[in-house]
Amino acid sequence: MEHVKSTEAEKLNAEKTALVVIDLQTGIANSGRLLAPYTGEQVVQKASKLIDAFTQKGAFVVLVRVSSVDGKDMLKPYTDMEMNQMQWPEGWDRFVPEIADTQIAHTITKRQWGAFFGTDLDLQLRRRGIDTIVLCGISTSIGVDTTAREAYQHGYHQIFVEDAMTASTKEEHDYVCKYIFPRIGRIRTSEEVALSLR
């Protein structure tokens, strides 16, 4: 993925930057469904390394999951695409084991695609003086993209970790990374992000 770099912008101040990890839970990352261009396992591995890097620098880490109390708290609009009724097996909303024991992470439970609406994410970021968020997780074109658009409207600087996110199809992932993310933030690799954190 080609991108323009600014030397100053590439230095991430750990005190003002948060890592926001979207929906790396057993029912999504380990569901067995096909994901592209990266597998759920690959995304979890990259995200785990980022969590370690952010934790070592004392940066704020946010783990986001989608869950439901009884199904009545989820959105059900009329749509042209027929949506399968979700069956929620036991433990589907638990964070994957690789990140479940993350120390000093703030956890957020959402009832829709985006992590800002109806949660305390914006409040917790602002209380800590954070102005930049680094986003990763599943799915690039749903949870990550919706959260990114919400963050943009809240005025946050954003970095999208292209190799630590994936989608249902490569086409969905590539479209968002090519046409949406460059308009609202910067696209980087997990290695570039880890190296730029100060």
**Mean pLDDT, the chain, whole residue set:** 91
What is the mean pLDDT of the segment spanning 172-183?
Answer: 98
d(CA 20, CA 50): 10
For residue range 89-100, list pLDDT tens digits in order.
778 899 999 999
At 146 the pLDDT is 98
d(CA 16, CA 24): 23
For residue range 15-42, list pLDDT tens digits in order.
999 999 999 999 999 888 899 999 999 9
Query: Residue with structure tokens 């589907």?
Result: 92
